[in-house]
Amino acid sequence: MYRRSIVSKVTQKKPLSKLSPLRAKSSPTTENTNEQTAKFEQFSSAQKAYLDRVVRVDQAGELGADYIYRGQIYVLSHKHPHLRPILDHMWKQEVHHRSTFNNLQLKHRTRPSLITPLWKLGATAMGVVPAMLSPEAAMACTEAVETVIGNHYNEQLRCLANQFNMEKTDGTKDEPEEIKKLTDTIKEFRDQELEHLDTAIKNDSHMAVPYKLLTEGIKSICKVAIWTAERV
Amino acid sequence: MSRLIAQKLFTKQSMAPSLLCIRSYHPIAKDFVKPITIEPLTYTTDSLQSKVLDHCLSNNVPKYGFKEKSIVESIKQLELSPSLVSVLGASNSPSFVHSSPAVLELIKYHLVTKRYELTKDIPQENIDHNNGLPSLEELLVKRLQMDIPIGSQLTDLFAQLSMPSQFLMETALPELLNLADDMIYFSNEKDHFDMAWYTKRLGVAFTYVASKLFMAQDISPNFVETMNFAHEKLNNVMKLGDYYNNTEEFAWYTLMVSVNLIKSQLSRN
């Protein structure tokens, strides 16, 4: 992260050639001025494959989160109305995350996960079943899921920061605009997911009865799901 | 830990893209240098290979079909060295049961360049699916019309494309899916982010192949019958999608109604 910010500052300060403003003035459209700025070399196939995975797995993950909260709200909102605003708030954020990644998927033309129906079914079950045990168990489930997702996002951020410092035609190195945007999106979402984690702990997730069993079981299920969604 | 993962990811040469995601992630084109090749092809559009294959497709394939003879004729007419035949096929592995590597390259070149031509005139940036794009049917008909000059060779082409081989898995099928993907992305068709993404692409690919098969046996002037057939087939496939969506919506509605009914009956007591 640190390295990236330094690099981007340097390139922003670097002045363009003296002639370029003249050329920009004489050209009729703004598009031509864009063409004169340096462009990036093409992504390698490994980089493309990685971004493809990132979009797919995050889309599937946010879809899962959306359905988990839906399931929890469906079960808990009548018996425990005091939880309703908390769950609603978290759910709305997840819906926003999901639609963001849906748009990214369409924009960059990656494919969605092939077993999307299975993710929907599994996530609903993961929301409904612990919520039926107790509201604390539901919160423990949230805690486990958000822990795994937070780690997963951090790993992606590290990789994006390390591997996407691309060569430009004028010899400098920088990250392409879309990578910066993706990094910012993932950072924002990671922070919100960790907020959900705090919310869950504040709402007595540690009081859930088979606490260890629940959290560890759900964590491993999430890890397997992430592994699969990256590939299929 | 993350560095280990990253290293594993980026040093591994064998991260070959799978069949379904040959052209997986599309970066925003305006920030990047324009690629000099059209993706599955390994040579540029102004290279010797392209020149020969292009000449062959427009002049000799309509006459001799997708055979080595038309490539040889092209090389003769362009006054190049005859050894070029083996250069052309360099990126395909030879096979006992299939045609020569050069012919396979000719077929690949045909599929890739025609797909590229189909969407060449559409601005590649800022795609707005609500206006300014052709309809799916227009693109489908346009692609079919591109093959009118080689109409009499289509049976042969189909035989080569559908023969179970490495070529089928590595070129013929991915190109078909890429074509369907391009047709949907560059048309005003609604795109999806769930299973409908797959079913729509399969539906379009199926329509295209069916229309092409029809075209191979069509004897009507200028393949009018084929265009009608494609129109009808596409309508049917899209209708099938509508049927599915309506059924799903109705089933979900029924489920919710019955759950709520049961709930209300229980709470009454």
- ipTM for this prediction: 0.81
Distance set, CA B135 to CA B139, B227, B235 (Å) = 7, 15, 12
For residues B129 and B190, is the Cβ–Cβ distance under 8 A?
yes
Residue A194 has pLDDT above 90, yes or no: yes
Return the structure tokens found at A229: 């969604």
Minimal C-alpha gap between B24 and chain A (Å): 5
Domain boundary assignment for chain B: 1-27+133-269, 34-121
**Mean per-residue pLDDT, A209-225:** 93
For residues A222 and A144, is the Cβ–Cβ distance under 8 A?
yes
Band (A28; pLDDT cuts 50, 70, 90):
very low
Band (A128; pLDDT cuts 50, 70, 90):
very high
For residues A132 and A214, is the Cβ–Cβ distance under 8 A?
no
Which chain A residues have a beta carbon less than 8 Å from that of B181? 109
Return the structure tokens found at A138: 């539901």
Q: Do A108 and B17 touch (CB under 8 A)?
A: no
Nearest Cβ partner of A162 from B1, B3, B33?
B3
Task: State the average pLDDT for chain A.
Answer: 85
Residue A220 has pLDDT above 50, yes or no: yes
Return the structure tokens found at B173: 């099928």
For residues B80 and B71, is the Cβ–Cβ distance under 8 A?
no
pTM, two decimals, is 0.82
Residue A182 has pLDDT above 70, yes or no: yes
The residue assigned the tokens 């190195």 is A173
**Which pLDDT score, from 0 to 100, does residue B7 have?**
54
Minimal C-alpha gap between A196 and chain B (Å): 24
Q: Who contacts A67 (Cβ-Cβ below 8 Å, separation ≥6)?
A: A119, A120, A123, A124, A127
**Mean per-residue pLDDT, A163-175:** 88
- Reference B104, options B23, B170, B47; nearest CA is B170
Q: Do B9 and A155 touch (CB under 8 A)?
A: no
Report how far residue B105's alpha carbon sits from residue B89's, in angstroms, rounded to the nearest whole number. Answer: 6
H or E element in which residue A136 lies: helix A135-163
Report how far residue A58's alpha carbon sits from residue A229's, in angstroms, rounded to the nearest whole number. Answer: 9
For residues B173 and B149, is the Cβ–Cβ distance under 8 A?
no
Q: Who contacts A186 (Cβ-Cβ below 8 Å, separation ≥6)?
A: A58, A153, A156, A157, A160
Nearest Cβ partner of A159 from B6, B25, B181?
B6
Which chain A residues have a beta carbon less than 8 Å from that of B26? 108-110
Which chain B residues have a beta carbon less than 8 Å from that of A77? none
Residue B6 forms contact with A (CB below 8 Å): yes
Least confident of A1-5, A145-149, B123-127: A1-5
Distance set, CA B259 to CA A122, B75, B160 (Å) = 20, 73, 55
Which chain B residues have a beta carbon less than 8 Å from that of A178? 27-28, 31
Q: Do A159 and B2 touch (CB under 8 A)?
A: yes
**Which pLDDT score, from 0 to 100, does residue B194 have?**
85
**Which pLDDT score, from 0 to 100, does residue A32 have?**
44
Band (A36; pLDDT cuts 50, 70, 90):
low
Residue A96 labeled ligand binder:
no
Q: Do A178 and B26 touch (CB under 8 A)?
A: no
CB burial of residue B129 (10 Å; 0-12, 13-18, 19+): middle
Report how far residue B243's alpha carbon sits from residue B206's, in angstroms, rounded to the nearest whole number. Answer: 18
Fill in the DSSP letter of residue B97: S
Residue A40's DSSP bridge partners are A168, B32
Using a CB–CB cut-off of 8 Å, the residues of A that contact B are 34, 39-43, 45-52, 55, 59, 102, 105-106, 108-112, 114, 116-117, 154-155, 158-159, 162-163, 169, 176-178
> What is residue A70's three-state secondary structure?
helix
First to last CA, chain A: 30
**Which pLDDT score, from 0 to 100, does residue B10 have?**
55
Higher-confidence position of A217 and B27? A217
Least confident of A88-102, A157-171, B28-42: B28-42
Residue B28 forms contact with A (CB below 8 Å): yes
Report how far residue B267's alpha carbon sits from residue B269's, in angstroms, rounded to the nearest whole number. Answer: 5
For residues B101 and B92, is the Cβ–Cβ distance under 8 A?
yes
Report how far residue B213's alpha carbon sits from residue B222's, in angstroms, rounded to the nearest whole number. Answer: 16
For residues A126 and A221, is the Cβ–Cβ distance under 8 A?
yes
Minimal C-alpha gap between A173 and chain B (Å): 13
The residue assigned the tokens 């590939």 is A231
**Which pLDDT score, from 0 to 100, does residue A226 have?**
95
pLDDT along chain B (269 residues), means of 10: 52 44 74 84 88 93 92 93 87 82 93 92 76 88 93 91 89 93 90 88 94 92 93 92 91 93 86
Return the structure tokens found at B125: 């940036």
What's the pLDDT tens digit per position in A67-86?
999 999 999 988 899 999 99
The residue assigned the tokens 């496939």 is B237
Residue B266 forms contact with A (CB below 8 Å): no
